[in-house]
Amino acid sequence: MNSPGGTKPTPVKGNLPQKLAYARHFLPAYARQRLIRRLPSGKIHLIIAVADHFEPAIIPGDGFARAPYAVQECRLERWCREYPKVIEGWRDNDGRPLIHTYFYPAEQYNHGIIARLANHCHAGWGEIEIHLHHGTPLPDTAANTLQTLISFRDALAFEHGALGCADSDPRPRFAFVHGNFALANSAGGFDCGVDEEMQILAEAGCFADLTFPSSPFHPSQPAKINSLYECGRPLREPAAHRYGPDLARGRTPQFPLMVQGPLMMSFHIGPSHPAWIENGSFTPNNPPSVLRLQLWKQAMISVQDRTDWLFIKLHCHGMDPNQEDCVMGASFQRFLRSLVEGAEGRGEILHFVSAREMVNVILAACDGKEGNPGDYRDYFFKPWKRSTTCVAVGDTSSATDG
């Protein structure tokens, strides 16, 4: 498939008034949330996941180019060697380090690279999930999208022991990130082309999408923000995820879930922190910080009636050589130290999780579970390698979630 990668939503045609029109879509929801959402008193649990759009072949500034295999191998070897050193000394309240969930692009599958990454993950430093760039320069088809997802899903599970599995369903199950942000053709025909993509994801075994937020100035950005929710329209319809009911305690949700990261506006004006739009992304110009942490908390992303469990989905591009400082270097290390050392003083109980584990904690909250959310990391979807029910099965791509 001839599709691009990149570190931000692909530019789309449109002048400034059109882009401002996109931004207006989310403003009513943002204003309403700022009026009614308040952090609860007392201790709060922060369930933090880092969704890494992990592309060892990335060439910054050129989404169609691919780095040679030797370069990819060198980048990955260094990451697997150095990142554990950075995080191993800073643990959450459950004794867990800040791992990454490596959303690896299906269209760039390389057995040797994935095998090395899988070894890193099996050693306890992360988990692999599915990333997909498609629909550029030409729209993709539903059949090709389904086949691409199933082939990559099965390679990850059966050859590399990655992904997850539910006791009630022997298929490999996965979390997903749309590489071009245009999930279910939500960018008006750009960078996807598959209206029924949410249905295809459900058929292939996707339990949650972690694509958003993208950008307020991009047509893919839903008006629904800072939320955990179900798709509100039939999954075969384009952009079925734009609206939907919030996840709530006492109601069993239907997959795939929509798990959003924070989308906030900061008006903290200063020489080192000008006003900005906060979307949970680690970038060289806006590395993670405790100041940003306050915005992530204020987004109040939670299951209804369980607001003392806050879900903070962040994202980065760990393999982009231009972003090393904000994902592993001095800026990141200062943040991690401040995050862990200052948690008690801020009234926070930290839980570092993978995307799969975050969804499990979300499901436990929906089921009304109490106590330590860290106890529910394997609540519903188990790791493939450790599950007794995840076995090599035939193609079950026609199965759906109800």
Provide the pLDDT for residue 176: 98
Cβ 360 vs Cβ 381: under 8 Å: yes
**Which structure tokens are listed for 186?**
């939500």
List the chain pLDDT tens, one digit each, 402 residues. 333 333 344 444 456 566 666 667 788 888 999 999 999 999 999 999 999 999 999 999 887 899 999 999 999 999 999 999 999 999 999 999 999 999 999 999 999 999 999 999 999 999 999 999 999 989 999 999 999 999 999 999 999 999 999 987 888 999 999 998 999 999 888 899 999 999 999 999 999 999 999 888 888 899 999 999 999 999 999 999 999 999 999 999 999 999 999 999 887 655 555 567 899 999 998 999 999 999 999 999 999 999 999 999 999 999 999 999 999 999 999 999 999 999 999 999 999 999 999 999 999 999 999 999 999 999 999 999 755 456 544 444 333 343
Say whether the peptide bond before residue 97 is cis (omega within 30 degrees of 0): no
Cβ 311 vs Cβ 362: under 8 Å: yes
Provide the pLDDT for residue 218: 82
Cβ 332 vs Cβ 326: under 8 Å: yes
| Beta-strand runs (E) in 78-200 | 100-105, 126-132, 164-166, 169-178
* Full-model pTM: 0.91
Q: Helix axis angle, 330-341 relative to 69-87, nearest 10°?
A: 30
CATH node for 44-386: 3.20.20
> Exposed, middle or buried by CB within 10 Å (0-12, 13-18, 19+), for 41?
exposed
Identify which of 47, 90, 39, 95 has the alpha carbon closest to the alpha carbon of residue 350: 47
Round to whole Å and give the CA distance between 77 and 121: 13
Cβ 130 vs Cβ 175: under 8 Å: yes
- Cα 315 to chain centroid distance, Å, stands at 6
Round to whole Å and give the CA distance between 357 and 377: 4
